[in-house]
Amino acid sequence: MTNAAGEGEGNARDSSPDSNGSDAAALIEITNALTSSLDFREILQTVVKRTAEVVRVDRVSLVMSPEKEGTVGYVVVASDDASIANLPIELDKYPEIQQALRTREPVTIHDANTHPLLEGVRGDVPSDHLGTMTLVPIVWEELASGVLFLRSQAKRGSLSERELGFCRIIANTTAIALRNARVMQSLRDHTQQATFARFEAERRLQSFKRYADLFASSPEGIAVVDRAGRLVFANPRSYDMLGYNEGDFAGALLAEVIHPDDREEAKDVVAGFSRGEFPKERDLRVVRGDGRVVTCSISCSALLDGDGAVLLSFRDVTQHRRTERELVRTKIFLERLIAASVDGIVAADLKGNVILYNHGAERIHSRRADDVIGKVNVRDLYPPGTAAEVMALIRSSAHGGPGRLESTRLEALASDGQRVPISLSAAVIYDERGNETATFGIFTDLRERIHVEERLAQAQEKLAMSEKQALLAELAGTAAHELNQPLTTVMAYAELLQRKLNAEQPEHKAAARIVA
């Protein structure tokens, strides 16, 4: 409470013409400050300092509460300390500020040491900081965004009606200035953003110009579609590849040019755009404008323009895919041919590691392919020293020319150590530059052939013996025939002599011996 002397002094100040004149001068000065300076903090510093001088208080500060019913306020400026700037305070410890913000009416505390409003926080504030307080809300459009906080010693007394009215004018003027400052800041921010956006657009346009020729002359089709799969634009190669004119295809859906059998797959691709899925190297068949079907390999990626557009790059791979299918068929045929061969076929890299091993080789070496390929060196398929001999024969020119070995009899080594007679044809495989990349050999198992040859030799030997015996018999028959006639004559003469001669005579005994 103020005393009578204080009230009289206040009334005297209210009625003084000089006081009214000084108030008007101060208002003009503050108004000029609010409209002339570009430094808003400097403006507010001038406001609180001149207000403190006019109403003769110890301290005037401007406290702002940015959020409605917020718990944190900010001391923006203070008349007695120019270093204070946006000092955060807990509004729960300033019930007087909360009341002024809530009621949007001035709050006057004649003696802070005894006022019931400060009962809960009085112990937190030194007693010499307490005194007379006046809080004038800063209101704009029924919303209190802050207070003009005036504080002085208790002996100074409360503000007079004139001084309070002056402070309310200052608070209202400050509210308008703050509102205008926010508008100007918003305009500056918007202008800055627009300027930056224009600069960024110009920069991006300049960066895109360098790629314009590349886009137009690209050998691949390049198109941009939206998330629904509708064409936004495409380069000339796209229209040429698809057999359309630009006007015919503009704005069309991607699915409209896809072959009917591939449209479901194309729809799945488009549906994946919204999920952030952008496939690469996906083959889709496309129906050209002339009705011809081509296979295109399509890759997708998101554009960084924020509109959800998708960049498609595609190329005609019809011939490539046809060639791939032919190569696959050829590969399958060769694999089946190698697998079905009765001869063993073995290939090895330059280090001797076996990389190909067919069923015929399994039969010759008594080893499974799974136990050989990548695990066994080709040296282990021959007796010791034979592999080196084979390579020497391959590289010589005496057996079919360098890099080739015509059919040569050798021995292979079975898993049980048995030596298997084989006929080997081998060669070196070269790459397109003429560098050696691998070797291969064709093993013909000679065991059955050798067995047949042995049986044939035995048969031939028996036949030769039979022929010899027949010849001897024939010779004997011929000899017997040739000797038979002279012997008959001799026998006849011997019998005749035996009859004619006397038994005592020696000739009779000789004739008897011949007849016998």
CB 494 within 8 A of CB 515: yes
Closest CA to 422 of 444, 406, 449: 444
Same structural domain for residues 26 and 175? Answer: yes
pLDDT tens profile 175-229: 877 777 676 666 676 777 777 767 766 666 565 556 667 777 788 888 888 888 8
Same structural domain for residues 487 and 403? Answer: no
The alpha carbon of 464 is separated from its chain's Cα centroid by a whole number of angstroms, namely 81
Asked whether the predicted pLDDT for residue 442 surpasses 90, the reply is yes
Average pLDDT over the chain, rounded to an integer: 81
What share of the chain has pLDDT > 90, as a percent? 26
Residue 354 included in any domain: yes
- Spatial distance between the Cα atoms of 153 and 156, rounded to a whole number of angstroms: 6
């035995």: which residue's tokens? 458
Q: 207: which 2 tokens? A: 């960066």
> For residue 135, which phi and psi values (nearest 5 degrees)?
-120, 120
Same structural domain for residues 381 and 365? Answer: yes
Q: What is the pLDDT of residue 11?
A: 43
Q: What is the pLDDT of residue 13?
A: 46
Q: Indicate the burial class of 463 (C-beta count within 10 angstroms; 0-12, 13-18, 19 or more).
A: exposed
Beta-carbon neighbour count of residue 114 at 10 Å? Answer: 13
- Hey, what amino acid is at 421? P
Residue 209 included in any domain: no
């006057």: which residue's tokens? 108
Q: What is the pLDDT of residue 10?
A: 45
Same structural domain for residues 172 and 280? Answer: no
Q: How confident is the model at residue 382 (pLDDT cuts 50, 70, 90)?
A: very high
pTM of the model: 0.44
Residue 206 included in any domain: no
- Spatial distance between the Cα atoms of 485 and 61, rounded to a whole number of angstroms: 173
Q: What is the pLDDT of residue 283?
A: 93
Domain boundary among 276, 291, 322: 322
Asked whether the predicted pLDDT for residue 91 surpasses 50, the reply is yes
More confident residue, 447 or 201: 447
Same structural domain for residues 414 and 386? Answer: yes
Same structural domain for residues 264 and 346? Answer: no
476 lies in which domain range?
A: 451-512
Residue 203 included in any domain: no
Domain boundary among 445, 468, 497: 445
352 Cβ contact list (under 8 Å, min separation 6): 377, 378, 379, 387
Same structural domain for residues 92 and 126? Answer: yes
- Stretch 231-247: mean pLDDT: 84
- Stretch 464-482: mean pLDDT: 74
pLDDT tens profile 290-301: 889 999 999 998
What share of the chain has pLDDT > 70, as a percent? 80
- Spatial distance between the Cα atoms of 64 and 56, rounded to a whole number of angstroms: 23
Asked whether the predicted pLDDT for residue 15 surpasses 60, the reply is no
Same structural domain for residues 230 and 282? Answer: yes
- Spatial distance between the Cα atoms of 296 and 301, rounded to a whole number of angstroms: 16
Same structural domain for residues 130 and 18? Answer: yes
Domain boundary among 181, 207, 232: 181
- Spatial distance between the Cα atoms of 278 and 275, rounded to a whole number of angstroms: 9
Asked whether the predicted pLDDT for residue 289 surpasses 70, the reply is yes
Residue 257's CATH number: 3.30.450.20
Q: What is the pLDDT of residue 385?
A: 92
Q: How confident is the model at residue 6 (pLDDT cuts 50, 70, 90)?
A: very low
Tally of structural domains, the chain: 4
Same structural domain for residues 356 and 475? Answer: no
Same structural domain for residues 459 and 441? Answer: no
202 Cβ contact list (under 8 Å, min separation 6): none
Q: 97: which 2 tokens? A: 């500020």
Same structural domain for residues 227 and 102? Answer: no
